Amino acid sequence: MRIAFFDCFSGVSGDMTLGALVDAGLPIDDLRGELDNLKLGGFELKSSRVMRGSIAATKVDVMVSEKGGHRHLNDVIDIIDKSAISEVSKSKAKLVFSKLAEAEAEVHGSTPSEVHFHEVGGIDAIVDIVGAVVGFELLGIDKIYSSPLRLGTGSVTTAHGIIPVPAPGTLALLEGIPVERTSIKAELVTPTGAALISTLSDGFGEIPPYRSLSIGYGAGGRDLEAIPNVLRINIGEPVGDDMADCCTVIETNVDDMNPELYGYVFDRLFEAGAKDVYITSTYMKKERPGVLISVIAAPGLAENMAEILLQETTTIGVRMWDVRRIKLKRRSAVVETEFGPIRVKVVDTGRGFRVKPEYDDCFKAAKEKGVPILSVYRSVESKSADIGVVGSLS
């Protein structure tokens, strides 16, 4: 497995991401070849070595001949769908733009389909986002982690006029993500950078121990007096006991909340990056029945999880403590069955293997084929030897 760690000590943007990936070893010609699959035309990708402060970095510029370029979400989705990039990259790129549209819709009181992309709908922004996504695929990146994001201050001129920094759309994208406000008068985190990192990152803060394979520095558009204007990306592979990590448990007791609301609370917590959320029935003081809400999250997200519980439930306090997890090694695979391909997790117990089918795939196959879901599960079990695994599905 290969991981990438975003060290965002000077923020993050789309062009800084491209520059850092190229600096870390992504061949620029390979990137150009993949971006040609967009069939857009009207742009040229240029790479150069620059200095930002005392740090040498790679600057990647998207030279655009197109004027304007304002598009709606459906226009951008159509461009991506008609491209010849991989299906995996298509899915991720569309997810990034969909998240952008949701943030802009929230800010402007509209809907994602009605949002009129301005800066982020131009060719340069499309190339930045799609280029970053295909770049990760070309480098074989399996997981992405990030440091907390540093935000600047001041104002910036956009198609909507002069707006404060951070831009409202950027803040909407960063909801639930650890950030640090600075006094640096610059837009350190752009909407494009915020959309990429908030959509693609698997976690913020601490990451598992890893062996560094390459380091890349991507340059921003201008020099900053306070700090080198670069994004550092470290690419590596996990080492040692990569199946052990640290988490924080956040808990609270509730005995006076409408049960209908728990589903919404769960959604909020998972969307904010919770690893797991569960409820345990309990009895409170005065023998009142209640529930214990437990959340497991990365340490860097614990404060935000606590804030969600305080906002979205009737509790007036939460408890938190750090724990160490030990996990069995696992990998993903696909089992071909008579009901179609079913994704599974292959778990190494140390004494053998067992297969756990993905419920969503089994549910979909059972509905489409009109068969009991247990038949799909049994089919996966009978076919598990095809991927070199024998074991129980429990």
Q: What is the pLDDT of residues 309-326, one digit of tens each?
A: 999 999 999 999 988 777
Identity of the residue numbered 13? S
Q: What angle do CA 124, 129, 135 make, to 5 degrees?
A: 115
Comparing 351 with 52, which gets the higher pLDDT? 52
Task: Dump strand ranges (E) for 316-361.
Answer: 319-326, 329-337, 340-348, 353-357
pLDDT band at 262 (very low <50, low <70, confident <90, very high): very high
A 10 A CB-CB count for 329 gives 12
> Which CATH architecture describes the domain 244-325?
2-Layer Sandwich (3.30)
> CA torsion sign, 125 to 129 to 134 to 138?
positive
CATH 3.30.70.1380 maps onto the chain at 244-325
Separation of alpha carbons 287 and 266, rounded Å: 26
Per-residue pLDDT at 53: 92
Res 299: pLDDT: 80
Phi and psi, residue 56, nearest 5° = -80, 135
How far apart CA 119 and CA 113 sit, in angstroms, is 17
- Helix axis angle, 14-23 relative to 28-36, nearest 10°? 130
Helix axes 14-23, 123-138, angle to 10 degrees: 30
Q: What is the mean pLDDT of the chain?
A: 87
pTM above 0.85, yes or no: no
pLDDT for position 393: 39
